[in-house]
Every structure is written in C-alpha cells, then in structure tokens.
Amino acid sequence: MIIFAHRGMKNEMPENTMPAFKKAFSYGFGIEFDVRMTLDKNVVVIHDRDLWRITGEHIDVSSVSLVELRKLKIGSHLNPQFVDTMIPTLDEVCKLIISNLPVGQKAAIHLKQEEQTEEMLQSLSRVFKNFDLYQKAFIFDMTLENAKKLRRINNKIPIALSVGECNYSPTVYLWDEIASSLDNFDYVWLDEWKSQGEILNKVLVDKINNTRKEIYAISPELHKEHGHPQSEEGYENVWKNLNKWGISGICTAYPDKLKTILTSEAQLVYKD
C-alpha cells in the first residue's frame, strides 16, 4: 500500500519542506503536499495562502515574489536547527521525488480550488513533462471542470477527484455525480469529513473498485477540525478496514504508525 506522509514528516520538522520530505522518503513513505503560485508566477510548496500560522505574519503567498518568500523564517520556531529552512519551489521538490521517492510510493499534489488557474495548470504540465512525473505523482482535489481543462493541456497527468459524503466544497463530489465522467480522472480520493462510515465503507469501495479506478483515502485524524468522530480514536480500525477492502493508499499524519499496523496485519494473514 502507498503511505502518503501528510505534508511530509511534519511532527518532526517544518511541514511542506525539504527536510520533512527527505525524512518521509528515508522511512519509505510517499508524500502529500500543497502548491501555490507567487506574485512572479513561481510555483511553491506551501499549504496556507496566508502565512500567519507558520511565520507569525499575515502574508498572502500570491502577493509576494519568490525572493521575498524565501526570506521568511518558517522553521526556527520549532527547532533552531531549521533556522535556514525555506519554503521550497515545486521544481526543487520534484528533483527530490525523482531521486529519492521509494519504490512503489507516490507523491500526491494538492491543488486547491483557488489555485486552479490556467497559469497554474500550464505550470504543472511543464513540471510533469520536465521531470517525467507521470508514474510518480498525481494531482488531486480538482473541480471536474478544471480536470477536463488539464486533460486538454496534458492528458498524461494522472488526476484524482475527491469524493465525500457531502459537497463540502466545489472540489468535493458525491460518487454518483462523477461516476459517469470516468474518462476525466484516474483515481478516487476518498475524503470523509464528518459522517463516520458514509464514505469509508466497503459498499462504496467495492463500487469504485468495480470501475477499476485506484482509490486513495484521507485518514480521519486529518479531519479533526471538521469534527470527524474517529479523528482521535478509531482511525487505526479505519486503516485496517481500508487495507482489507483493497484500496491503494492512505494519507495520514501518522505514517510510521500506519506502517506498523499494515505490517502486523500482513503477518497475521501470512500466519493464517
């Protein structure tokens, strides 16, 4: 199974940074990360549009140049050893993916709705071509409309559409809404926000598996702020069930714990 370390090994070091991604790769994990575009049209790897949470300053990524962005201190508040850690460019992360991504793992690139512009889609197409990422990475959380646009720009880029129990945003669909548009995406990103078992259940997984679309899932602990009832307890059982039902990968804040559980489950199957 593919284990996506959410924004890298962010419990040990600054999230969405080169050290966090290198550590994830050294443990044998894939990665999930977010991309945004700067004022001077450089694509950088960062989650928030407003950088207050990681810098203590209200700075909009889209309002500053790459040079200005790279001057910000994003790691020293966690540990002095990260005082020189900078927000990376997508090109830098892709170079790391090409040279260090563990065999059998992938990189999941989160493209938020407000970043799904023509300029960004063209930039992503260029990056996939330049680094030949087609077997190593995919883009997820797109609107169906923008997924179609990206298909026209570069139909080799793998795309995952988000499926939830409700239309929480324009990028989150009910399965029945996109089941007739299978040619426009490659994977399904199961994204259950609040209602336990509404999306992460065997019936839906079997239905999607029958379409031969690979399935990746967001682990419940990543939706603590949305009130998922298994965000603090019970997510390990979700992992076990998803593994049993045959999905292809899980995105989690606890990749090392997930790996331990999957290894234990495999050993039990082997003994039986």
181-204 residue pLDDT tens: 999 999 999 999 999 999 999 999
User: Is residue 104 over pLDDT 90?
Assistant: yes
pTM: 0.95
CB 216 within 8 A of CB 187: yes
**How far does CA 52 lie from the centroid of its chain?**
22
Helical H runs in 101-154?
118-131, 144-153
CA distance 223 to 252: 10
pLDDT recorded at residue 76: 58
CB 94 within 8 A of CB 133: yes
> Using the 8-state DSSP alphabet, how is residue 87 labeled?
P
Share of the chain above pLDDT 90, in %: 86
Write the pLDDT tens digit of every residue in 2-50: 999 999 998 778 899 999 999 999 999 999 999 999 999 999 999 999 9
Length of the chain: 272
CA distance 203 to 209: 10
The CATH code of the domain at 2-270 is 3.20.20.190
pLDDT recorded at residue 272: 47
Q: How far apart are the first and last CA of the chain?
A: 20
CA of 10: how far to CAs of 13, 69, 200, 226, 263, in Å?
5, 20, 25, 20, 22
Q: Which residue has the tokens 């962010």?
A: 10
CA distance 180 to 9: 37
The residue extents of the domains of the chain are 2-270
Helical H runs in the chain?
18-26, 52-55, 66-70, 90-100, 118-131, 144-153, 175-178, 202-209, 235-245, 255-271
